[in-house]
Amino acid sequence: MDRLDYITEKIVSIEEAKKRISMWHMKNDVVCFTNGCFDILHLGHITYLAKAASLGKRLIVAINSDDSVRLLNKAPNRPINNEQARMMVVAALGCVDLVVVFNEQTPLELIKELLPDVLIKGADYDAEETDKNHPKYIIGSDIIKANGGKVETISFVEGYSTTAILSK
C-alpha cells in the first residue's frame, strides 16, 4: 500500500467506523473522538489533535460537511476548503486513525452511533457542564458518561485560530 492509499483508507463511512471501533474494542483499545471544521489546518489544530490522541489508543475525527459548516454561520466565505480536502489533510496526520464526515449542525447522532470511550472538545467547553442549553455544554457528553466513558477538554494554543488567520 502506498502512502496516499494509507491516508485515504482513514476516511471512512459511519458503518465502516463502527466496524473498526468494534475491532479496536476487542483489543481493549481506548477510542477517542473529537470533531470540528478544521478548515485551514494550523499549529493550534495540530497541538489539539495530538493531545486528543494521547488520551487513548485511537483517535476518530469527525469533520463538519460543507453544509454543516455553513449552518454554523462562521463566515459567509466558509468553508475555505471543501470537505474532501479537509478530510484528506486531517487524515494525513499520524495521530489520527479515522476521519468521518457529518452533515448535521452537531455530531450528536454520530456520537450516539459510534459511542467512543472518550469525547474531547476544546477548553472553551466544560466537561462538567450538564445543562444542555448552556453554551459550554459538550454535545453528547451525557451519552458518553452514561455509557461509562469520559469527557475531556484540551486548552487551545493562544494566538491560533482559523478566524484570526483569515482576518490577518
CATH class of 3-167: alpha beta
- Measure the CA–CA gap between 128 and 7, rounded to whole angstroms: 35
Whole-number pLDDT of residue 78: 81
pTM: 0.94
**Residue-by-residue pLDDT tens, the chain, 168 positions:** 799 999 999 999 999 999 999 999 999 999 999 999 998 899 999 999 999 999 999 999 999 999 988 888 777 778 999 999 999 999 999 999 999 999 998 999 999 999 999 999 999 999 999 999 999 999 999 999 999 999 999 998 887 777 777 777
Whole-number pLDDT of residue 158: 81
Among 156, 62, 163, smallest CA distance to 106 is for 62
Domain boundaries, the chain: 3-167
- Measure the CA–CA gap between 134 and 130, rounded to whole angstroms: 8
